[in-house]
Amino acid sequence: MKPYIVLHMLISIDGKITGGYMNTDVASALCEEYYRINREYKADAFACGRITMEGSFTQGVKPDLTSYEGVRFPREDYIAKQHGYYAVSIDPHGRLGWYGSEIKDEDPGYDDAHIIEVLTDDIQEEYLAFLRDKGISYIFCGKEKIDVKLMNEKLVKFFGIKKLMLEGGGLTDSLFLDADCIDEMSLVVVPLIDVDKDGIDLFAGKSCNVQEYALKSCEKLTANGLWLNYVKK
């Protein structure tokens, strides 16, 4: 029991998802294509790791837990509300300082998505009180590391998510790849090579898992970009 999972990413020719190339006019033009394609998938949810969520939505703000000192809740799943669209936040140790229970973004592909925090048991006790106070749902999916299979089951069972857009970062993408649960890949390729040593690869985690995909379509985009679409064989 799992959603249909589409890995949707913007990458350089050499497979980087971050780096100096992202600051170019070419990358900016193809970012717009990336967002357009994302909206056209009409998924029930999108998923990102903690670092991506910090960079895109919380701006690095840490949760202020001082007012929740001594407040305890059992480590049990909490469904704050049912919603039409979800933001699945893979935050194993509970470090994201959310402002409210929904994403606020100019892009309709992300705006108003209800936040689901995906946690492990390795969190501060007060963080659960912080999430409940914000009206944020959360699910437990492992002791110290995220159990992707369990997470997928709970996303279907509790929230009815049928199609999930996986949107990085590199470690999170690798987590799903290792779990062998990526059904489709949607790659918007920026026609640049970036040898920045700090740039992150599409799959930043180490894996010895060989998987084969079939090309579904290839479309030329603006600014000499490409949209490569693969499905799992």
Q: Among residues 161, 184, 200, which one ends one of the domains?
A: 161
- For 29-33, 42-46, 48-52, 194-198, which range has the lowest pLDDT when averaged over its residues? 194-198
Q: Among residues 109, 134, 161, which one ends one of the domains?
A: 161
Q: How far apart are CA 33 and CA 9, in angstroms?
A: 11
**pLDDT > 80? residue 116:** yes
30: CATH = 3.40.430.10
The answer to whether 201 and 164 have CB atoms below 8 angstroms apart is no
Is the domain of 58 the same as that of 144? yes
Task: Read off the pLDDT of residues 90-109 as tens digits, 9 standing for 90 and up.
Answer: 999 999 999 999 999 999 99
Which residue bears the tokens 């490569």?
228
Is the domain of 88 the same as that of 153? yes
Order of strands across the sheet that contains 4-12:
137-140, 114-119, 86-90, 45-49, 163-166, 4-12, 184-190, 226-232, 213-220
**pLDDT > 80? residue 212:** yes
Is the domain of 133 the same as that of 57? yes
| pTM, to two decimals | 0.96
Eight-class DSSP state of 147: -
Is the domain of 76 the same as that of 121? yes
Is the domain of 30 the same as that of 127? no
Q: What is the dihedral of CA 22, 25, 29, 34, to 10 degrees?
A: 0
Sign, CA torsion 2/31/48/210: positive
Of 187, 179, 186, 167, the closest CA to residue 211 belongs to 179
Is the domain of 128 the same as that of 168? no
For position 14, what pLDDT does the model report? 95
Is the domain of 22 the same as that of 108? no
Which domain covers residue 113, as residue numbers? 46-161
Domain count, the chain: 2
Question: CA 158, 53, 72: angle at the middle one, nearest 5?
Answer: 55
For position 228, what pLDDT does the model report? 98
Q: Among residues 112, 143, 161, which one ends one of the domains?
A: 161
Is the bond preceding residue 169 a cis peptide, omega within 30 degrees?
Answer: yes
Task: Read off the pLDDT of residues 136-179 as tens digits, 9 standing for 90 and up.
Answer: 999 999 999 999 999 999 999 999 999 999 999 999 999 999 99
**pLDDT > 70? residue 44:** yes
- Tell me the chain's radius of gyration from C-alpha atoms: 18
Is the domain of 55 the same as that of 146? yes
Is the domain of 157 the same as that of 182? no
Is the domain of 153 the same as that of 62? yes
Is the domain of 181 the same as that of 231? yes
Is the domain of 187 the same as that of 212? yes
Query: Cα dist. 81→110, 192, 214 in Å?
Result: 18, 43, 38
